[in-house]
Every structure is written in C-alpha cells, then in structure tokens.
Amino acid sequence: MIQYTSSVVENTTGAVPRTLCHRSAVFEAATIDFMEDGILSRREWWVAGKKHREDGPAVIFYRDGRPNNEEWWRDGKMHRDHGPADTFYNEDGSVRHEVWVRNGRDYTPSGHDRLTWIAASRQKPPE
C-alpha cells in the first residue's frame, strides 16, 4: 500500500526496504529507504529524473545506520571534480575503497593509468 500525505509518498507494504519520497520544487524526488526495523538504509537525490546533487553525494547507502557507500552524481552521471565519486567505508568509518569518476568515466587523481594507480595505492596487510 502507498500512502500520499502532503508532499511525502510512503511505501507501507511491509516489504523491505520501506521508502519515503519527498517531492519539492527543486528536487524531483529525495528517496529515503528504511529497513523493516526502522534503520536507515539508503538516501538518494534526484533532479529532472536524474540522480543529481551539487553539495554532497547523491546516493548514500547505510549499514547499521552508518554510511557504507557514497556516490556523487551530476546530471545522471557519476561525477566529482575534486575527490572520489564513489567511496566505500569499513565498519569503523575508515575508507575501504575509492573510485575517481568525472562525467561517468573513471580517471586517477594523478593522471596515471588506473590499474597502475590502484596497485600503487594498496596498503600492505597488517603484520
């Protein structure tokens, strides 16, 4: 069942995840998903039918209420000018993996070949 109340659309089917969509003049939809137990699982920002956000990641996935993955999007393409566009986090909040993307295309911050950069940036396993 979907309920419509003012500018909020709520999926109340009991299925996992539960979704809230807020519509406004600026954003076509800001989607917020919750697990059955009420814990936040995902937030998305959309403009004109495309994932888009100027001031932060357009998609944030959560694990146990904490950010697990952040994706920066502009005009429907993964994009970030000054930093990684796709970041994955460990449970302690430290960065596990980063992907640098501009206009939907992978690149490296140093301009090196992507595979060489990934191999060079790997950390040694703890002793």
In the prediction, which pLDDT does 120 show?
47
In the prediction, which pLDDT does 8 show?
41
Q: List the one residue out of 30, 34, 67, 69 whose CA is nearest residue 47.
A: 30
In the prediction, which pLDDT does 20 show?
54
Name the residue with tokens 């100027």.
Answer: 54
Render each residue's pLDDT in the chain as its tens digit; 127 residues.
Answer: 233 233 344 444 444 445 555 544 454 457 888 888 888 899 999 888 889 998 899 999 999 889 999 999 999 999 998 889 999 999 999 999 998 888 888 877 765 545 444 444 544 434 3
Task: Kindly list the distances between the CA atom of residue 23 and the CA atoms of 48, 52, 126, in Å, as whole numbers in the listed order.
Answer: 11, 14, 47
Name the residue with tokens 């690149």.
Answer: 107
Q: Outline where DSSP puts E strands in 48-92.
A: 50-51, 59-63, 66-71, 73-74, 77-78, 86-89
